[in-house]
Structure 1
């Protein structure tokens, strides 16, 4: 229409678009400069990328190099041993026990954390009276330091502590939770679960609130029970969140250190000697830094393998990409 009007007035369409009614020429806005925008984006991202490289990638490469050597930091000597540390590691029964303890701990934390977090989120999603206080109670451990949390549980799990005191009132003799090899690792699982369940609860609550209520109501009209509606509708729709929390919980549980050091010191025996604590004792107590570096590389490989296993399995049960 603008071009037709310009033709009717005998004007060049281009001139008509860039000229004012009084004949003054209007300078069009300059075109955006994509190169400048691109470099601006690079400038914003560069500090984070540089931090990851300097604080993550480079130290990890050093760890790989140290794992191929026998390093004596007190004398400064470093002797190349190739895969000697790894051969020694896989023949070490203490390492095998640490792997089993770490996998048991991670599996227990993963299952209990997700089950409790989803259950709490479903309860909170009902919007009952007092829900805000309930939510605060279960989320508060997330913001408490892991040291304070572990020390508190140390008092509760002591032979004459709060839990055994409550059991004694009921006429039950409580076990030595942290001194018995049959209960020590399970106790650490409980401590870790209640420390992090609040965060997953919030994530699941957000996912549940995004599920359209109309779909649930339609399922109820079709005769679906609440349990079937939950498994057939709710769980598939929050599957991406289950995947995300599962991966994060697995990684966090395999990196646990502070509760082990503060509550059991890896004991009794090697019952709670998980891989991060085994690495710590090998490096800073035994001063075997090359051997400890090999433990760190294997721990990284285990975490990476389990993460990739969870990620690749998403095609079977996650119907929405994350």
Structure 2
């Protein structure tokens, strides 16, 4: 009986192992299929809404296209040759880079400062978090229109300044102040999203590391600089890339507030693209400007991505 029982137990174990092995293969295939099913909509979206339209943009840039007169003529690289010698385009690109640099510095600095403040355990702090985040969900056009009234020559901001004896400038009609004003308006519109990202990163810093630094004699500033900042550098990289891409493509505040003026002081390249296409009806040249905008944005993104090995924590 013992021999039969032993043989039966061995057979049972062998079958169980075999069933586990065979069952292990099916879940692996199932997991792969489920993973592909989840990824497929995003891949289809990127191809259908990103790569294919961009392919058409390149195709249009190789033509002289005016839809009003039905003209669509192959010109090869003529639009790009024209682009290389167009001072207006390069001036707009410099304005775009100035806008982007100033916005990134103000937005990221303010977002990190607010995140540090809102990371405190204080009563009512959730209300303040919602308050600072609320502009993110407000319509961009509505937000810009309200600010347009506030920064007008006789608007609320100059009215408040006049009460303390300060004669404020015409913020949107002064070539010196117009670009800075638009940057500040855009910073307040989007700082809440970056603030939330930084807040999540700060809350993910292990408290035992900060406690160890304090035990070693590090003060609050040294702990923040040597412990907190290195651990949130991946979030800083993410925020800087996302903020840069959004700033390079800014359009609504320029269109609503300044129309590229005064002069061309706020004519960023995305607004110049709009003017070229829909006011001058030169869609082929506008497509070439769009390709230039994409190339510059991609180059700046790659520069930030490649630099991560030097300053992002855990990157090798």
TM-score for the superposition, normalised by structure 2: 0.92
Instruction: Give 1:265 deviation, angstroms.
Output: 0.6
Contact 1:142–1:195, Cα closer than 8 Å, also in 2 = yes
Partner of 1:273: 267
Offset of residue 260 of structure 1: 0.5
Structure 1, gaps ≥5 residues long = 21-26
> Which residue is equivalent to 2:254?
260
Structure 2 distance, partners of 1:44, 1:315, is 31
Equivalent residues in 2 for 1:186-265, closer than 5 Å: 186-265=180-259
Partners of 1:7 and 1:13 within 8 A in 2: no
Residue by residue, what CA displacement relative to the aligned partner does 1:203-247 show, whole Å, maximum 9, x if unpaired?
Answer: 111111111222222222322221122111111010000000000
Determine which of 73, 80, 90 is the counterpart of 2:67: 73
Q: Report the counterpart of residue 306 of structure 2 in structure 1.
A: 312
| Alpha-carbon distance between aligned partners in 1 of 2:215 and 2:181, rounded to the nearest angstrom | 45
Rg bigger for which structure? 1
> When you count helix as a share of all residues, which structure comes out higher?
2
Residue 134 (structure 1) aligned with residue 134 (structure 2): no
Partner of residue 162, structure 2: 168
Cα-to-partner distance string for 1:251-283 (whole Å, 9 max, x where unaligned): 001111001100001111111100111000100
TM-score normalised by the chain length of structure 1: 0.91
Q: Give a deviation string over 1:103-139, Cα, whole Å, max 9, x none.
A: 0000011011111111111111122233222212211
Pairing of 1:283-294 with structure 2 (within 5 A): 283-294=277-288
Q: Structure 2 unaligned runs (5+)?
A: none
Root-mean-square deviation (CA), in Å? Answer: 2.2
2:300 aligns to what SS in structure 1? helix
1:301 is aligned, of 295, 300, 307, to 295
Q: CA deviation at 1:167?
A: 0.2
CA distance in 2, matches of 1:176, 1:75: 41
Aligned residues, how many? 312
